[in-house]
Chain A
Amino acid sequence: MSRGDGLGCAVAHPFIERTVLALWSTVSPARLSIASWDDDDLAVVYDKVTGDTHLIESSAIEILRLIEKSPASAEAIAHELADLISADDQDKLPQFISATLLQLRDLGLVTDTPV
């Protein structure tokens, strides 16, 4: 996704480079237990294989739930979640999604396969 300004110059790609051109998926679906609450912007995740428990943002849970159903690219995720974000935050969405995917990968909760 790129946007040009009125003069026809392309802006740098808003997604973090290394999250592009990959399909993101959760590690085996039955492996994660998630607990979240309506009045909380944080949630917890339990990984049955490693025995680790993680504190993550509720928005990251949305991403996890999305790619649990089927692997998706960062752009596809952004497209799906666009409706949940206010208009003001739309331009921050790609950056946020990329950063979250990388964090989730560091925690061992998601994997990426290059396409």
Chain B
Amino acid sequence: MKISEVPLAELARLLRCGDLLLRLTPFVARVASDVPSLAQDIALMYADFDICPPNVFADFHVQVWRDSGVRRWIKPQARFSFDGQPSFTGLPVAQAFAMLEWGLNWCVAAHSHQYLVIHAAVIEKNGKAVVLPAPPGSGKSTLCAGLVMKGWRLLSDELALYELQSGLIYGMARPISLKNQSIDIIKRLAPDAVMTAPVPDTTKGTIALLRPSVSSVMRVKEPVQATWIVLPNYVHGSPPILAPHSRARTFMLLAEQSFNYDTQGQNGFDAVTALVDRTQCYQFTYSSLDDAQRVFDNLLQGQV
């Protein structure tokens, strides 16, 4: 059954009881929350995702509870918990959905050593895939969102799940997080895009989450073999420049941007070597999403 087929009142009830089992292929998360707006955000952003029957094994138990006492009414706060262990930082209730997303990212990144978990966006079109690893502030999410709105399949915006033995990359096709000006840029680019209401004053500025395309969610079980690794580099006013990048430097960036590279030991080194060996590595400097779309389509057609 899909989230969209569950009445909102029932969704809210499931959340309050901690009985919402959300299938985030390849994982299952059991979500509990007493924040009313969270049910609405989940209904909107995860509309096309499945819920699991009760009593299945859940990989992660996560909770978003409102703080009790005085904080319940004065500047109400909520807190993310992992299996009953709360995080130290409470955040305003308005940020509950963003907090859930960050919390889920942490769960996957910290505990899934069957994959090399790389902080990267992964998109696919016509059977070819691009991995976009990037430290925060490089414009990765905006670029990813822009391309996904123009027909590329979304595998991930944050967490690329690289299966070491097969070399295949999996994603969860979860909402893309946008901040500040990116929100308006994407709204202009794709007026039909479905987003949460912007939430101001988070530590990252104003945040909104963008719903992934239905087709991305439908195809979430299909992994990809990476063809290109592209390091996005947003520079205000710059023309689009796709420049070949040192494989060794790309290696180091991928390793640095992996949450569990160190844990994987020799296998991690071999896996990143294999990934860099079989792909073309570029750095992409840009300032316009229209330029980006053109360049990426050229890449697809072999015209670089």
Binding site for B on A (CB under 8 A): 33, 35-37, 39-44, 46, 48, 51, 53, 55
- CB pair B266–A40 under 8 Å, yes or no, is no
Beyond A51-B262, A53-B255, whether A33 also contacts B269 by CB under 8 A is yes
- CB pair B269–A42 under 8 Å, yes or no, is no
- CB pair B266–A46 under 8 Å, yes or no, is yes
- CB pair A40–B247 under 8 Å, yes or no, is yes
Going nearest first, the 7 A-B pairs with the smallest beta carbon separation are: A42-B248, A46-B269, A35-B273, A37-B247, A44-B251, A40-B247, A55-B252
Most buried by A among B246, B249, B262, B265: B246
B270: interface (CB < 8 Å): yes
**CA gap between A55 and B255 in the complex, in Å:** 11
- CB pair B266–A42 under 8 Å, yes or no, is no
Please give, as numbers and ranges, the residues of chain A lying within 8 Å of B246 by CB-CB distance.
Answer: 40-42
- CB pair A51–B265 under 8 Å, yes or no, is yes
Count contacts on B: residues with CB < 8 A to the other chain. 16
- CB pair B252–A35 under 8 Å, yes or no, is no
- CB pair B248–A44 under 8 Å, yes or no, is yes
Binding site for A on B (CB under 8 A): 246-249, 251-252, 255, 261-262, 265-266, 269-270, 273, 276-277
A43 CB, nearest partner CB in chain B, Å: 5
Please give, as numbers and ranges, the residues of chain A lying within 8 Å of B266 by CB-CB distance.
Answer: 33, 46, 48
B276 CB, nearest partner CB in chain A, Å: 8
- CB pair A35–B251 under 8 Å, yes or no, is yes
A45 CB, nearest partner CB in chain B, Å: 9
**CA gap between A43 and B246 in the complex, in Å:** 9
B304 CB, nearest partner CB in chain A, Å: 15
Beyond A51-B262, A51-B265, A53-B255, whether A42 also contacts B270 by CB under 8 A is no
**CA gap between A44 and B247 in the complex, in Å:** 9
**CA gap between A111 and B35 in the complex, in Å:** 60
